[in-house]
Amino acid sequence: MHSTTNQKIGLSITDKRAHLRVWAPLAKKVDCLILANNSKLSLQAADYGYWQLDTDILQEGDLYRLLVDEKELPDPASRAQPEGVHGPSAVVDLAYAWTDLHYGAPKQRELVIYELHIGTFSDSHDFQGVINRLPYLRELGINAIEIMPVAQFPGERNWGYDGVFLFAVQNSYGGAKGLQALVDACHASGIAVILDVVYNHFGPEGNYLPEFAPYLTDKYGTPWGKAVNFDDVYNYGVRDFVLDNVRMWFEDFHIDGLRMDAVHAIKDFSPVHILQDIRTLTDAIMLETGRSHYLFVECDLNDRRYLEPLAKNGFAMDGQWLDEFHHALRVAVGEERKGYYAEFNGVAHLAKAYQDAYVFDGNFSFHRKKFFGSSADGLAAECFVVFAQNHDQVGNRMLGERSATLFAPAAQRLMAMAVSLSPFTPMLFMGEEWGAQTPFQYFVSHGDDELIEAVRKGRKQEFSEFHASGEPPDPQAISTYRDSILDWKEMESAYGQQNLSYYKALLHLRKTLLSAVEWSREQFSVKHDQDRETITLHIQTQERDLLCIFNFSSHKQEVPLRENTTWSVLWNSDDESWGGNSKMDPVQRGSAHLSELSGLLLQHSRNDK
What pLDDT does residue 458 have? 83
Compute the distance between CA of residue 298 and CA of residue 423 in angstroms, rounded to an integer. Answer: 19
Above 80 in pLDDT, residue 442?
yes
Q: Which of 90, 112, 131 is the last residue of a domain?
A: 90
Helix, strand or coil for residue 406? Answer: helix
CA atoms lying within 13 Å on the CB side of residue 166: 26
Average pLDDT over residues 268-284: 98
Average pLDDT over residues 501-519: 91
What pLDDT does residue 256 have? 98
CA angle 412, 418, 419 (to 5 degrees): 95
Above 70 in pLDDT, residue 609?
no
Residue 41's closest CA among 74, 18, 7? 18
Please write the tens of the pLDDT for every residue from 171-226: 999 999 999 999 999 999 999 999 999 999 999 999 999 999 999 999 998 888 88
Q: What is the mean pLDDT of the chain?
A: 95
Above 70 in pLDDT, residue 495?
yes
Average pLDDT over residues 239-260: 98
Q: Which of 43, 64, 90 is the last residue of a domain?
A: 90
Above 80 in pLDDT, residue 607?
no
Bridge partners for 528 per DSSP: 535
Helix, strand or coil for residue 304? Answer: helix
Above 70 in pLDDT, residue 61?
yes
* Widest distance between CA atoms in the chain: 88
Compute the distance between CA of residue 106 and CA of residue 108 in angstroms, rounded to an integer. Answer: 6
Please write the tens of the pLDDT for every residue from 458-494: 888 877 655 566 788 999 999 999 999 999 999 999 9
Helix, strand or coil for residue 118? Answer: helix
Please write the tens of the pLDDT for every residue from 79-95: 999 999 999 999 999 99
The larger pLDDT score, comparing residue 522 to residue 154, is at 154
- pTM for this prediction: 0.97
> Taking phi first (over 0 means left), then psi (-120 to 50 degrees means alpha), and beta for anything else, what does residue 190 get?
left
Residue 548 covered by a domain: yes
Residue 408: pLDDT band (50, 70, 90) is very high
Residue 256 covered by a domain: no
Whole domain around residue 575: which residue ranges? Answer: 516-605
Compute the distance between CA of residue 14 and CA of residue 19 in angstroms, rounded to an integer. Answer: 8
What pLDDT does residue 460 have? 80
Least confident of 195-199, 235-239, 592-596, 604-608: 604-608
Please write the tens of the pLDDT for every residue from 101-125: 999 999 999 999 999 999 999 999 9
Residue 413 covered by a domain: no
What pLDDT does residue 161 have? 96
Are 148 and 159 in contact by the 8 Å Cβ rule? The answer is yes
What pLDDT does residue 466 have? 58
Compute the distance between CA of residue 495 and CA of residue 490 in angstroms, rounded to an integer. Answer: 8
Q: Which of 65, 90, 115 is the last residue of a domain?
A: 90
Count of structural domains, the chain: 2
Q: Which CATH number characterizes residue 569's domain?
A: 2.60.40.1180
Residue 176 covered by a domain: no
Average pLDDT over residues 312-336: 98
Percent of the chain with pLDDT over 70: 98
Residue 413: pLDDT band (50, 70, 90) is very high
Compute the distance between CA of residue 120 and CA of residue 138 in angstroms, rounded to an integer. Answer: 20
Q: Which CATH number characterizes residue 50's domain?
A: 2.60.40.10
Helix, strand or coil for residue 523? Answer: helix
Residue 28 covered by a domain: yes
Above 70 in pLDDT, residue 3?
no
Please write the tens of the pLDDT for every residue from 285-303: 999 999 999 999 999 999 9
Average pLDDT over residues 397-413: 96
Q: How do strand 557-560 and strand 544-551 relate by DSSP bridges?
A: unpaired
Residue 48 covered by a domain: yes
Compute the distance between CA of residue 416 and CA of residue 536 in angstroms, rounded to an integer. Answer: 16
What pLDDT does residue 541 have? 82
Burial class (CB in 10 A: 0-12, 13-18, 19+), 584: exposed
Above 80 in pLDDT, residue 426?
yes
Q: How many helices (H) and strands (E) does the chain have?
A: 14, 31
Please write the tens of the pLDDT for every residue from 135-155: 999 999 999 999 999 999 999
The larger pLDDT score, comparing residue 457 to residue 531, is at 531
What pLDDT does residue 326 have? 98
Q: Which residues contact 101 (CB under 8 A, 6 or more apart)?
A: none
Residue 100: pLDDT band (50, 70, 90) is very high
Catalytic residues: 261, 298
In Å, how far are 67, 121, 154 from 72, measured between CA atoms? 5, 37, 19
What pLDDT does residue 522 have? 78
Percent of the chain with pLDDT over 90: 88
Residue 497 covered by a domain: no
What pLDDT does residue 581 have? 86
Residue 500 covered by a domain: no
Are 306 and 262 in contact by the 8 Å Cβ rule? The answer is no
What pLDDT does residue 50 have? 98
What pLDDT does residue 263 have? 97
Please write the tens of the pLDDT for every residue from 553-592: 999 999 999 988 899 999 999 999 999 987 778 998 889 9
